[in-house]
Structure 1
């Protein structure tokens, strides 16, 4: 970690040296030499840090030397950041000087008054600002001199440790295709245990409620439980399946709320209660008669007063319900009511199974010749190192994937890391090897994750923006490429098996979320135990793990006492990351931030905050501020505009937020503004001045009468927009010229666009919607488009057919349009959903991009479409087919899934569907009876026979039998 930090400092020094002359804010005379000394000392220690980082695990004196170096480095980082902020502030003052002189104009309009003349007041203000800057520069110069003295002694001390100098080449971030991410979902070597547990789950005896899976850390208990949870025998046997991550401590209220979220039949006000007894009553009432499977994953310390009442409430369900528990402790299983006969004890894997798992990962996507490395000698050494632990095998294999020669493999297997007595857990040794094989910057990114609790669901984009805020991604000095570098680092950690339980999404099916294995979490906390704290407050008010050490840099407050702010955190003068995870923190002290000036990352989301204190403006280093899901928050203080370094502001689902302060115009470094869910938020026109803004996820357009509010045409100023944009209330746009002025055609990095015209129901027909829609032009890079609440009769803008990279398209709530556009011509479309186009009576061949004439050339309609959904098409009666003998037409050659939901008058399916590779057909909704009856007729039966490739045809939750008689079978 020190190695990456020193690299950042050297980059900071280089950057400031370049810019201070341009901005004329040089420090006082004589400090230039101090700055050069700083550079020299940092460069001197940089070469030995790789060796020091590896030796600190077993050499306490080296660890102490590194801690002192990091402490000094953090202080240098703060000083240089303040210096850089002064340069930025000076630049801002120059830009706004004209606006500040408007007092002269106003003075002429007013009557004579007894006050200091405007011109004199401006002179005094100017001299005051100059004086403030001189004082600040002297302060920074003095601190640089003092810190340099400490760094000098640390640099000299390095000679006492005989460090080996390591010269790193240019860091090459590993980047592979998504397909090379190895996510081994098949559980190896557990067939006997799985058959046993499936038998217990399906038993109708009704005697055994709790079935524990017990085993030491790293044996794959969670992965095994997941394989059972998703097994088809289980999904069809239980009415309801519920998965709850428990961990330490056993929080009965959160567990109860998670269960309610799954079993709730209808709205119940008790679900939001924070009273355990009320939640138990809610569970009891909603679970009656339901045969459920509940998985409580990673249970550590349940007590009888907490578990007993919860278990009693759960017993109100069907007698053949089951509770699956994963735990490391036999005593936990017994206390929860399991018997020895009904425990699944996971033991270590055999060498053969471990080697099989290793081989799948290490040689995934590799040539066969490379597997020659895997000879008997190597196999024996690997088996010994992983010691029957699947996690160790997976981690070691992920490391070996990037070793190309036998020599490199042998070096890993003979590393001294395997001999470390200081590392108690065997898995830690393989993790250490993988950890030190990462570049220093990627190591920092991994260690950042220690501030979050076990089972935390990481969002990829949030994580990357947090890394940005800590300057982990600016190693190459290119601020424009930080997000790309962050995605590469994230992918690297995925490929090295530091993350798991992937969530995929988006057009490209990328990994957008993940979790961290419990043991990997233990590992990163082991490496950061002197810098990272997760603090809880017990009921007596005494702070568990009370923070008193000013060396703590990363802090997560998981709970508080009596809804109060824990004052002991003020001891953390150098705190850089503060996460408050408790939901009971309704107010912040007015001076809460005045003593924590080093914070870069501040996460206060979901805390019931009603007011943000003005003191937040003093956090000059702050780069990331998350206030999301504080529904009672009404406004932000003007002092937020003083956060010159702020890069990310998250306000997602702050429902009470009425407007953003105009002072946000000063946030020249702001890159990411998230306001999705802030339905009534007024965005000031001044946001258009933020030329570095890359992400604006949501924008509700103001009307002509909304003076000073952001209009559609103001989007034209935001040239750097990336990612996704949701534009709401488009009916307020003046005309098509305003849509054109948004200049979406110039935003080549804007990939996902939602155009929402009005309210969901009841809007009258509006011809203006067509003009506004046609006024837009989008870049051909657009991948995803949704159009909703569109009230015109024609939905086919000319620019849509030019979207050659469009992969996902949704039309929703388009009540007056009766004809579908020729969407079959879109060459890249993979997903199409048409929802509530209530005037459509016939889907004709024009939808496929086919005219009524005999085609002269080959036509490939919807060439890449995989998923097609029609929902709530109230007037739809006919879906037109094509002539069977027309060999020049190919229709939907890639379609795998077709869903027809609540389309009451549709009479039949077109003939071309049984010729395509359709795998699943779903017809849902009680109003689909006409189509359901068609399946039972001779025509429907013939269709089923011809569509032999369709694996599942499901009508209202029942499968059509494949014997050709059209009978329905229960799911």
Structure 2
């Protein structure tokens, strides 16, 4: 058995080398993609078997402490001590046969792999929830001064701005100004990643605005419109009573409370990232919004609502005036690119290529930021030309623009980044928690770093991704948060190729058999009862709101998690964890808000 385990580990390493190389390439051929999935599945089965041997070793150490000194802490040495475990031996032999076949396929596959565009998985029709705040993510903002000054002037004086017909960065249309009694609405419209939220944050924190309004309120709306939660957030902002209790209020009571609180205030309300609900018509969309806005109609004259949205249709539904935010100008784009590249260009050739790259990015602040950081420390003309001649001409296709930055990462960072697709958009990432998840999945490699612990190496991984703008740091006051930009979140989901699945809709499509990592809201856990989950290695249960969902993670679901390594159930408000968790022999990282059962 010792020889079998040695051969299996050697075969595993050979297949992993082919899998890693295949994941770097753009597989387009369906047969190649299918074969890659088979190799991944075989790798998972092999790792599970080896993990079972390690589990048996640890368990035997606990049960036979007197013999602990004679046991070598290795899954290879365990074969000498488990001669009688026929079931495990049989499973081992089956995996060895499977891996032998996979190895032959891998050798053939390695000889025919072509560098082509990846056969990517189409993004889900369900758009994830995005959460923003009023604090800017970047300390330095390039350009946008004209846009901010124009909008501040309108918010303070309602000064008519002459519409712009040129191709500049800002176009104003005031043909449909809505004035409902004492409040006025204005929408900032632009594609994702163009800087709408950044402009709104600059306006919100402008001292002229701070001085002019009695109350400023910032509410992140995103795709999933929930009028109950939205009106509660507005009330919480508007109220001077920070301990206000709204748990038992119905919507009408909430409307009356908002009207009472706001009636004697001149306010600015920012509604960030507003979407049009495609499942309803324009009339119903309009009614839903005016149910929310109606209680504020009797506020002090001069009160304003500022909306950011990707859709002009939203401005139409709200009957608001609108500003169209376009890309940065050439000078500001070049300044932002140079700032992100953060080094002196070593030749006029690189500067010329850099300016061509900037022109191709059409003033997208996000793309300029990421591509600039991607080229940080790179001084070869060939590397810059590769970025220049990549298929990034379509400015609307952010994934195409951002993918080169992902492909420039080492394989170990690619794996860690794609794993982050499990987190919803706007999610505040806890680095320590994420690092433990990476460790549990064996993503952290300490070879060659004998002085570093797994946790220290994981922190280095996180900092490397942060420095490349795959994460962004927020510092509201003394606190520090880390988030992924929406486009980065989409990119992570895109490159995970189905291994990671983020379920945010109430209805759930059939889960691919090769999915290994899953995040889901507690309200949707029922969908897992009828799913096969034998290959699942991560299950993250989230909560949509700050209210306790009181939904249980039952034995039926836990019993399916044969291979789970990471179990995060902080989204479940449970008094006690089911005893079935004791049988999760592969579990390495458990996060919960309740006491663990005996034996954990």
TM-score relative to the length of structure 1: 0.51
Asked if 1:287 is matched to 2:252, the reply is no
Deviations 1:836-881 (A, max 9, x none): xxxxxxxxxxxxxxxxxxxxxxxxxxxxxxxxxxxxxxxxxxxxxx
Q: Distance in 2 between matches of 1:139 and 1:438?
A: 40
Equivalence for 2:307: 325
Unaligned runs of 5+ in 1: 1-28, 99-129, 165-181, 539-543, 641-971
Deviations 1:744-763 (A, max 9, x none): xxxxxxxxxxxxxxxxxxxx
Q: Secondary structure at the match of 1:212?
A: strand
Q: 1:525 aligns with which of 468, 479, 493?
A: 493
Q: Secondary structure at the match of 2:503?
A: strand
Equivalence for 2:93: 142
Q: Distance in 2 between matches of 1:198 and 1:505?
A: 24
Deviations 1:767-826 (A, max 9, x none): xxxxxxxxxxxxxxxxxxxxxxxxxxxxxxxxxxxxxxxxxxxxxxxxxxxxxxxxxxxx
Report the Cα offset of residue 615 of structure 1: 0.2
> Contact (CA 8 Å) 1:221, 1:326: kept in 2 or not?
yes
Equivalence for 2:588: 623
Unaligned runs of 5+ in 2: 69-80, 116-135, 159-178, 278-284
Q: Secondary structure at the match of 1:209?
A: strand
Q: 2:429 aligns with which of 441, 444, 458?
A: 458
> Contact (CA 8 Å) 2:182, 2:303: kept in 1 or not?
no
Report the Cα offset of residue 345 of structure 1: 0.7
Equivalence for 1:198: 152
Asked if 1:402 is matched to 2:402, the reply is no
Equivalence for 1:600: 565
| Cα distance change, pair 588–399 in 1 and its aligned pair in 2 (3 A) | closer
Equivalence for 1:709: none
Asked if 1:636 is matched to 2:596, the reply is yes
Q: Secondary structure at the match of 1:550?
A: coil
> Contact (CA 8 Å) 2:558, 2:580: kept in 1 or not?
yes
The 5 Å alignment of 1:74-85 reads: 74-85=44-55
Q: Distance in 1 between matches of 2:259 and 2:451?
A: 55
| Cα distance change, pair 317–559 in 1 and its aligned pair in 2 (3 A) | farther
Q: 1:550 aligns with which of 509, 513, 516?
A: 513
| Cα distance change, pair 379–535 in 1 and its aligned pair in 2 (3 A) | closer
Q: Distance in 1 between matches of 2:19 and 2:40?
A: 14
> Contact (CA 8 Å) 1:585, 1:609: kept in 2 or not?
yes
Report the Cα offset of residue 183 of structure 1: 6.8
Q: 1:158 aligns with which of 101, 109, 117?
A: 109
Report the Cα offset of residue 282 of structure 1: 3.5
Q: Distance in 1 between matches of 2:350 and 2:379?
A: 15
| Cα distance change, pair 621–314 in 1 and its aligned pair in 2 (3 A) | farther
| Cα distance change, pair 73–371 in 1 and its aligned pair in 2 (3 A) | same
Q: 1:447 aligns with which of 412, 418, 437?
A: 418
Q: Secondary structure at the match of 2:453?
A: helix
Q: 1:313 aligns with which of 285, 295, 299?
A: 295
The 5 Å alignment of 1:360-509 reads: 360-363=339-342, 366=343, 368=344, 370=345, 372=347, 377-414=352-389, 416-418=390-392, 425-476=396-447, 481-503=453-475
| Cα distance change, pair 475–436 in 1 and its aligned pair in 2 (3 A) | farther
> Contact (CA 8 Å) 1:349, 1:388: kept in 2 or not?
yes
> Contact (CA 8 Å) 2:187, 2:306: kept in 1 or not?
yes
Report the Cα offset of residue 470 of structure 1: 1.8
Report the Cα offset of residue 225 of structure 1: 1.4
Q: Secondary structure at the match of 1:242?
A: strand
Equivalence for 2:126: none
Which 10-residue stretch deviates more, 397-406 or 261-270?
261-270
Asked if 1:337 is matched to 2:282, the reply is no
| Cα distance change, pair 133–567 in 1 and its aligned pair in 2 (3 A) | farther
> Contact (CA 8 Å) 1:250, 1:301: kept in 2 or not?
no
> Contact (CA 8 Å) 1:445, 1:467: kept in 2 or not?
yes
| Cα distance change, pair 263–355 in 1 and its aligned pair in 2 (3 A) | same
Asked if 1:213 is matched to 2:167, the reply is no
> Contact (CA 8 Å) 2:337, 2:368: kept in 1 or not?
yes
Q: Distance in 1 between matches of 2:473 and 2:24?
A: 30
Report the Cα offset of residue 362 of structure 1: 0.9
> Contact (CA 8 Å) 2:499, 2:517: kept in 1 or not?
yes
Q: Distance in 2 between matches of 1:65 and 1:286?
A: 62
Q: Distance in 1 between matches of 2:357 and 2:499?
A: 34
Report the Cα offset of residue 617 of structure 1: 0.9
Deviations 1:40-76 (A, max 9, x none): 46326616743652222x4444333322222222222
Equivalence for 1:566: 527
> Contact (CA 8 Å) 1:417, 1:433: kept in 2 or not?
no
> Contact (CA 8 Å) 2:26, 2:114: kept in 1 or not?
no
Equivalence for 2:170: none
| Cα distance change, pair 409–350 in 1 and its aligned pair in 2 (3 A) | same
Q: Secondary structure at the match of 1:236?
A: helix
| Cα distance change, pair 480–41 in 1 and its aligned pair in 2 (3 A) | closer
Deviations 1:348-376 (A, max 9, x none): 2222221121011212xx4x5x4545765
| Cα distance change, pair 157–406 in 1 and its aligned pair in 2 (3 A) | closer
Q: 2:36 aligns with which of 58, 66, 70?
A: 66
Q: Distance in 2 between matches of 1:433 and 1:34?
A: 39
Equivalence for 2:176: none
| Cα distance change, pair 428–505 in 1 and its aligned pair in 2 (3 A) | same
Report the Cα offset of residue 393 of structure 1: 0.9
Report the Cα offset of residue 158 of structure 1: 0.9
Report the Cα offset of residue 157 of structure 1: 3.3
Report the Cα offset of residue 387 of structure 1: 2.2
Tell me which protein shows more helix as a share of its residues: 2
| Cα distance change, pair 208–273 in 1 and its aligned pair in 2 (3 A) | same
Give me the CA root mean square deviation: 3.2
Equivalence for 1:266: 241
Q: Distance in 1 between matches of 2:599 and 2:94?
A: 26
Which 10-residue stretch deviates more, 228-237 or 278-287?
278-287
> Contact (CA 8 Å) 1:396, 1:431: kept in 2 or not?
yes
